[in-house]
Amino acid sequence: MEYKGRYSIFDPTGIQTYPVSQRRNKVMLDDLIDPEKIHTDESPVSKSVNSLLQTIAGAIAGARKHNKPVIVFTGAHAIKNGLGPILVDLVGRGVITLVAGNGATAIHDFELALIGQTSEDVPRALQEGQFGMAHEFSHINTALSVGDQNLLGYGESLGKMICEESFCREVSKRIEGGKKTIRFQYPQVSVLATCYHKNVPFTVHVGIGTDVNDQHVSFDGRAKGGCSGRDFLIFVEQIARLQQGGVVLNIGSAVTGPEVLLKAVSMAANIGRAPAGLITADFDLRPHDARQMTDEQSPGYYFRDQKSIVTRIPEAFGGQGFYICGDQKQTLPLLYRYILEQMKEAAE
């Protein structure tokens, strides 16, 4: 990036990268959940959590039956935990109408689509000065540069790179003079690719300096911010379609998801398109105490997901908020199972 200000800046041209194929990863294709195998009759969660999951599944099935939005904001760990195929399937079935995430969410999905592996061994890589230094992250930066020039969103640019040969060729041309063609080996497991195929928005909400692709000489903050800024407005437009109700799930995003939703709801309300009767659900590991949401002396007051997703937003617009405390690897497969059961019942 060019800079003409008064301060000294770091020169990234000396950064050394390596092929992602040489990286040690912790998550492989075999670690991804198979939605077709989610059929056990034994529930691994408590009765209270199980009951909440059935309630939320019913709300989702009801929302889609009446063509109301179902929006999912997911942190990166849902993808790292191998749960992406659940989102892929629900997008494919027309259940989810928008997927949102942070930069890391998109990065893990990109890696799975590219090589069928993700989640590098950070402690080891960090000591060796190689954390986040896989050469292929330049693909993300270059796709954003091309996308920004075409005034596209962040998720749309990455989805387009994975799915469209012409766009992928354009990205390849700008990397090492087009000497190597980018080849995505496993697009079928990618949420980005599925959303692009199904014309479902995948919005990516980022900061600067928060993601490993920012470490590379190909990084362009203007392109990253421009593409993500457009995604924010796509997200707000979808939130503004909740006037007749709908469902918003926040999966493991402690800060970004709650804050993005809070601002989006405020913008929609400002122009007279506030959500009504909104159902929200927050999935995380931390305990939840509703009494702490109004007590500034309590630690729980500062948990943005619990305060905004479960309490403030639904209460402001006559909705209802739920908190699902538990391991994503247990709660999300169960939710998926109950959604399919509820939708089948709703169709009969």
| Residue closest to 238 by CA, chosen among 202, 196, 192, 277 | 202
- pLDDT, residue 290, reads 77
pLDDT at position 177 is: 67
Distance between CA atoms of 315 and 166, rounded to whole angstroms? 47
Instruction: Report yes or no on whether pTM surpasses 0.75.
Output: yes
| pLDDT tens-place string over residues 22-69 | 888 999 999 999 998 887 656 788 999 999 999 999 999 999 999 999
Across the strands, what pairs with 131? none
Amino acid, res. 134? A
Residue 153 amino acid letter: G
Scanning 150-274, the segments in alpha helix (DSSP H) are 154-163, 165-173, 191-198, 221-239, 256-270
Tell me how far apart the terminal alpha carbons of the chain are, to the nearest angstrom: 58
Residue 12, both tokens? 């990234």
76 in helix, strand or coil?
helix
Between CA 48 and CA 65 the distance in angstroms is 26
Distance, CA of 126 to CA of 142 (rounded, Å): 24
- Which residue type, as a one-letter code, is found at position 206? V
- Please calculate the CA angle 67-50-73 and round it to the nearest 5 degrees: 45
Closest by alpha carbon to 241, among 73, 113, 70?
Answer: 70
> How far is Cα of residue 216 from the mean position of the Cα atoms in its chain?
22
Is the Cα torsion angle 135, 196, 78, 39 positive or negative in sign?
Answer: negative
Cα–Cα distance, 30 to 316 (Å, whole number): 43
pLDDT 10s digit of each residue in the chain, 348 long?
Answer: 888 999 999 999 999 999 998 888 999 999 999 998 887 656 788 999 999 999 999 999 999 999 999 999 999 999 999 999 999 999 999 999 999 999 999 999 999 999 999 999 898 888 889 999 999 999 999 999 999 999 999 999 999 999 999 999 999 999 866 667 789 999 999 999 999 999 999 999 999 999 999 999 999 999 999 999 999 999 999 999 999 999 999 999 999 999 999 999 999 999 999 999 999 999 998 877 777 777 787 877 777 888 899 999 999 999 999 999 999 999 999 999 999 999 988 776
Predicted local confidence at residue 44, as pLDDT: 84
DSSP 110: H
pLDDT at 282: 97
- Confidence at residue 116, expressed as pLDDT on a 0 to 100 scale: 96
Q: Could you give the angle at which helices 84-92 and 328-347 cross, rounded to 10 degrees? A: 20
Alpha carbon 279 to chain centroid, angstroms: 19
Q: What 3-state class would DSSP assign to 324?
A: strand
